[in-house]
Structure 1
Amino acid sequence: MTIRWVWAFLDTPAARFDESAEFWRTVTGSTLSAKRGDNDEFLTLLPDSGTPSVKMQAVPHDPRVHLDLDVDDVPAEVERAVKLGATVVFDNHGYTVMRSPHGMIFCFTPASTAGPVAAVVTGPEGDRSRLDQVCLDIGPADHRDEVRFWTELTGWRWTPGTLPEYSRLTPDFELPVKLLLQRLDQDRPTGAHPDLACDDIDKTAAWHEKLGALRVRRGREWLVMTDPAGQHYCLTGRDPD
């Protein structure tokens, strides 16, 4: 399988959707598309330059992140994913919602998007950042099988991280969203959160706080935050370029 494009999809509680959309519009240097869907529940973040890679959906549940994978042949990839251990949640005769072996929601969508990735965003204090990664949060009992699934599904190169609980999947060509795989301390269904690469974590965090985000805890080279709707995300000390 060749994944033509990857979308980070922010599923956001409907009651905080507009507030959260404004937050993510600002920190990604984007404008908001017109809302669409039967209940105006979807929108796309349109970067000032480059190709969109972040969408949002108003949902009736707690915030979460899922992935949309653009592929050439959705039915064929659904069949292959099922053989690897995924299950079909919903088939919309155009795109298919799936669940990984241990709970991560993702969609196969028809390939239609390609182009240069969005530009790095400069904050008010000159700090630079980019949403360029989704981290899959995997319980220890499920970790080996979930890593196996995503490695086989994507066909991307697996490499260990600098810490034993992390590893990475990297495509052979440039895509806007890469995958980090994290082994948690406690078992729970696999979920995900977005990561922003930052050249100055503290300056970016201060900017995000002014926009309604909250600091949660500091890690070794990252800072865990929540957006105005309660979605966890991380600011990391990686090169945004």
Structure 2
Amino acid sequence: MSTHRDPVSRPLWMTAFLDFAPGHLAEGASFWSALTGYGLSPVRGTAGEFATLEPPEGDAFLRVQRLRLGNDRIHLDLHVADLRAAAAHAVTLGASEVADHAEDGYVVLTSPGGFELCFVGNGESARPRATAWPTGHESLLDQVCIDVPHDRFDTERAFWAALTGWPERASAVSTDFCSLERPDGFPLRLLFQRLGADDAGDRTRAHLDWATTDRAAETERHVALGAEVRDVRQVWTVLSDPFGRAYCITDRHPVTGQLT
């Protein structure tokens, strides 16, 4: 697998997409807009299936989509200078190309573990700041955790390291985690989690993570908006949105992204 540090697939920006099952978009977009404190753009697309969560300052890095079929999930858009060159490089690293819509501005692929990603054109460049809440704490949705089946962990993390050109960073929490060092000003970190051997499912999937200066206060804020607490761990809390989509609030600092 290539270890080139400046591949043509190196992202200039990254967008996380909250993909909603049919019938979930309106309520789901409203919930995530309230969680982030970001405004919701007018819907767009041939069937009104897309919208953007717009931060009060800085550029957008979160969008929502209504799926034609399937369950609620996450996928990533990597903004690159050359869609076809990036897609071709990703395939050499182990990705599979699903659909070539380069003339319309995107190419759809899946990672070696089956996680969906798209290459799109570049544009955004200014990372939003953390949001200060009336309780006095701050928070920011700033990380995508890629959940990898136990026997595919090394292959998947190596693929993303080669794809982005970002160096790997060991976790201080567990050997079942590792992350990639994002460039300064980039909106989203990438964390990889090795799932347990008995975890259901054989495809790589993902969830979103928050950084905050006060996990208890941030959790209370989310619950008040309709989230449900699933589990409380040493440095993170697992919650779910109204449709059961899991996500986490962590003790990472919203400016540095590192555990406080």
- The two structures share one fold, judged by TM-score above 0.5: yes
What does the per-residue CA deviation read over 1:179-223, in whole Å, with 9 as the maximum and x for residues that have no partner? 001111036210000100011111111111111111111122000
* Correspondence list, 1:95-174, <5 A: 95-115=106-126, 117-162=127-172, 163-174=174-185
**TM-score where L is the length of structure 1:** 0.96
1:127 Cα deviation after fit: 2.4
Give unmatched runs, 5+ long, in structure 2.
1-6, 256-260
1:96 Cα deviation after fit: 0.6
Identity of aligned residues (%): 37
Q: 1:168 to 1:229 in 2, by over 3 A?
A: same
Assess if the C-alpha contact under 8 Å between 1:16 and 1:228 holds in 2: no
| In 2, Cα distance between equivalents of 1:52 and 1:126 | 24
SS at match of 2:183: coil
Q: More displaced, 88-97 or 69-78?
A: 88-97
| In 1, Cα distance between equivalents of 2:55 and 2:66 | 20
Match of 2:239 in 1: 225
Are 2:194 and 1:183 equivalent residues in the alignment?
Answer: yes
Q: Which of 85, 91, 98 in structure 2 is aligned with 1:82? A: 91
* Residues paired across the two proteins, number: 240
Are 2:47 and 1:47 equivalent residues in the alignment?
Answer: no
What does the per-residue CA deviation read over 1:88-146, in whole Å, with 9 as the maximum and x for residues that have no partner? 1112122111100111110000112222x112112342221101100000011101111
Assess if the C-alpha contact under 8 Å between 1:9 and 1:65 holds in 2: yes
SS at match of 2:150: coil
SS at match of 1:164: coil
What does the per-residue CA deviation read over 1:17-49, in whole Å, with 9 as the maximum and x for residues that have no partner? 211111111221211111011111100000011
SS at match of 2:34: helix
**TM-score where L is the length of structure 2:** 0.89
| In 2, Cα distance between equivalents of 1:217 and 1:25 | 23
| In 2, Cα distance between equivalents of 1:69 and 1:109 | 6
Give unmatched runs, 5+ long, in structure 1.
none
Q: More displaced, 20-29 or 40-49?
A: 20-29
| In 1, Cα distance between equivalents of 2:130 and 2:123 | 23
Assess if the C-alpha contact under 8 Å between 1:123 and 1:207 holds in 2: no
Assess if the C-alpha contact under 8 Å between 2:37 and 2:55 holds in 1: yes
Match of 1:213 in 2: 227
| In 1, Cα distance between equivalents of 2:79 and 2:186 | 11
Are 2:70 and 1:64 equivalent residues in the alignment?
Answer: no
| In 2, Cα distance between equivalents of 1:136 and 1:45 | 21
| In 2, Cα distance between equivalents of 1:78 and 1:49 | 31
| In 2, Cα distance between equivalents of 1:15 and 1:209 | 22
| In 2, Cα distance between equivalents of 1:128 and 1:223 | 16
| In 1, Cα distance between equivalents of 2:131 and 2:123 | 25
Amino acid at match of 2:187: P
What does the per-residue CA deviation read over 1:51-93, in whole Å, with 9 as the maximum and x for residues that have no partner? 1100010123211111100000010010000011100111212
